[in-house]
Structures are given as structure tokens and as C-alpha cells.
Structure 1
Amino acid sequence: MLVFVFICFVTSSLVVGALWGVSGKLPEKVEGFIVAVAGGALIISLVLELIEPASSEASLFWILALILIGAGVFTAIDYLIKQRMKSKGGFGLLAAVTLDGIPENLALGVALIGGGPAQIAALAGSIFLSNLPEAAGSAMEMQKDNYSKKHTMVIWTGTAILLSSSAVAGYLFLQDVDDFYLALIKAFAAGAVAASLSTEVFPQAFKKDSLWTGLAIALGISIAYGLHKLGV
């Protein structure tokens, strides 16, 4: 039961963020600060909850290779969306959240296999915080493109269901998979998350709140590391 509570908590951030986007918004500096905190938390989570556990099940070569492949796949898809499809509005952000979210939530599902509550909370919390402003920003752009509030909420609720399904699939269907392959999945997801931090999360945070971005990232790192140590 705890597993599904964590999954619902993480993906509910997309619906909450969309509600935030269609009903109003926080000051840009506050939004940028939250994004930066989330990014800092994700740095710790991808290293300690994904890469480090994976390194005990696969060789350094495979871990490094899958990190690079994960980052490369995300970067290629991000390029296609932004440069080739010229999608930079609400649906561009929606696509970015979805492409980023599928490996993130799959990794969350894998992390739930044998993970401790505090360790899982660190990853779940950082994903939750990073999803909020991205969903809100996309919903705001959809409003500018004359999508109704109802239509926008239906789209984001569907996205939340899709990403919940990927987390549930990771947990249910990868239980009996060899630890070596789970390690590769974690490393791939870590690479994808790392790429999303550099191209989506930190640039957005710096644009909205450049003065306090570094402090906010350090705060996010401290929170995530503290949660991790509590779970050790």
C-alpha cells in the first residue's frame, strides 16, 4: 500500500501544478526558487538513489555507458521537440514533462523495490517539486493558446495517469528482473534526469530567480541528502 501512496503522491503534482496554472501563479522569483530547490534535490537523488545502488550490481563501464545513453536519448528527443517540431508553448512543455517523467517514474518504481521509506521519500519529493512548476507553466501557456480550463485539466490528468502507470509498471513488472538489468534501467534514468536538469530545470530557475538560484540548489541538495542519511 505504501508503494502506491508514494506513486500517487508524485504524480498528483502534475494535477496540482495544472490547477495552479489555470487558477493563478506565484511570483516568478518564488517559482524559480522552488524549481532550483527541486533541481538540487534531484542531483542528490539521481546519484544516491539511482547511480550508487546501480553501481553495486553492474560494472563501472555499463553504469557510465547507460548514463550517457540516457542523457543522449533525452537530449535527442528534446532537440526534436524544440528545434524540429518548433514546439515551445504549452504542448512543448507537456511533451518535455512526459518524456522526462516516464524514465523518472519508471526509476521511481524500480527504486521502490526494496527501498527504504526515507530513501524513496527523497526521490519522490524531488520529483514532486520539479513537476509542480513545469505543469503549472504548461497549463498557463495552454490558457494563452485558448484552451479551456476543463480541457487543460483533462490533458494533465491523463498525463498524470500515464506517468503513474509507468511507475506502477516499474514496480510490478520488474520485481523478478535480474539486478543487473535493474541497474541499467536506473543508470539510464539517471542520465535522462541529469540531461533534463541541464536543459529544463536549472535554466528555468535561473531565468526566473537568478540571484538566489545557487542558494536554492544548495538547499535542495541539503534536504535530499538529509533525507537520504535518515534512511541509511
Structure 2
Amino acid sequence: MSEPSTDAPAGDRIRVAIADDQALVRAGLRMVLEAEPDIEVVGEAADGHEAIELTRARRVDVVLMDVRMPRVDGIAATASVVAGPHPPRVLILTTFDLDENAFAAIRAGASGFMLKDARPADLLAAIRSVHAGDAALAPRITRRMLELFGQEVPAQNTALSPEAASLTPREREVLTAIGEGLSNTEIAKRQFVAESTVKTHVGRLLTKLNARDRVHLVIYAYEHGLLAPKGRPRSD
């Protein structure tokens, strides 16, 4: 007797598009993804322009986006893709974990990035993470990204926005901890609360600040003076 199928219903699968100018890379990624019952590869693009057209023509949940591609690079493509009415999540693929172009793509709207030599299990976890609304950035990478980001942010002297002013003291504490690159588990330990409580605070922060995920929470916070780059006092 055959075993029952473990395939997810088609409507429940994560619809992934692959954008990379190297055909061999696309083929390798497709092979890894199509072995998963809950993931469906819905298309490939050889450059940023094709990636934009693909996401306009088909429903895509997550785009695996290379940074350095001909015609339209991954940064410009990411900005265009996430500007649509029903934008997919974008997961940047890069060769170097300190690639400043990858950080620029994060600022353009990507939800995280992965190294091209990452283990398949880590890539799959990242895809599922960004699809669920989380960010796919290791704490070390988050800290480095924010260091580079903080160097570009001008000193903030303006009054807090109404959204920022509405944050409670605990929400500000959680936001600061996220800015330090701490995970929910680490924040819970620091504040002596349950991890579910931290998740609740993060959810409220996302709603109040209209942010896509925790990475964009922190970018918003830097740009609006809620967090200050290292060595610079906060404006409040």
C-alpha cells in the first residue's frame, strides 16, 4: 500500500521566483526548491527587468533576487517589485555577507539576504521565514547592516512622528533591542518575559510603524530618530 502524500495543496504552497543571471545557479536553486512539498517555483528571470515583469505577470510570494545582474540590477528590481499593490517578499542572494549592495537592497525593500553558498536547509528556512513575515538575517549580519546603515543616517533633530510618539516604553525597549540585532528569544531573556510577549510587542511595533518586518522596523526607527547610530545620542 502506498504511503499518503505529504504534498501541500497547491494553494498553500509558497510560490517562489528565482532571479539570477547565471543559468547554473538558477538550475541548482530550482532543484533544491522543487524537492520541498510546500514550495513551488513559478518562474525564473535572468536579470532585474525580467524579475519585475515576472512578478507583474504571476502571483509570487517570495523572490530570490541576485544583486548584480545586467540591464536592471537587484537593488532597482527590488524597489520596483515591492512597490506593487500585492508585493512579494524579496530575499537577496549574495556572494559576500558584507556586500554593501545587498544592504542597499534591504533598504530598497528586501526582507533579508542569504549567501549563495548557504546550506539548502538554511535557504529553505529563510524562504519560509520571509514568507511568514519575518526577516531572514542572522543577528551578526543584522548588526553589521545597521552599522553601515547608521553611518549614512543624518543626525535627527526633528520631533517624533505621531506613530513613533504612540509607542509605549516597553515597545521602545523592544525596538532598541531589535536594533541591537537581538532575536525574540534574547529579548525575552533580557526583559524576563515570555517569548510570546515579545512577539506581541513586535507585532504592535509593525502595526504602529507600518513596517514590513523587523529589519524595516529598525530602518524606520533610525530614520525617525528613535534609534541613533553607535556613538551618536538619540534626539529625544
Could you tell me the TM-score, scaled by structure 2's length?
0.28
Could you tell me the TM-score, scaled by structure 1's length?
0.28
- Give the strand-richer structure, 1 or 2: 2
Larger Rg: 2
- Give the helix-richer structure, 1 or 2: 1
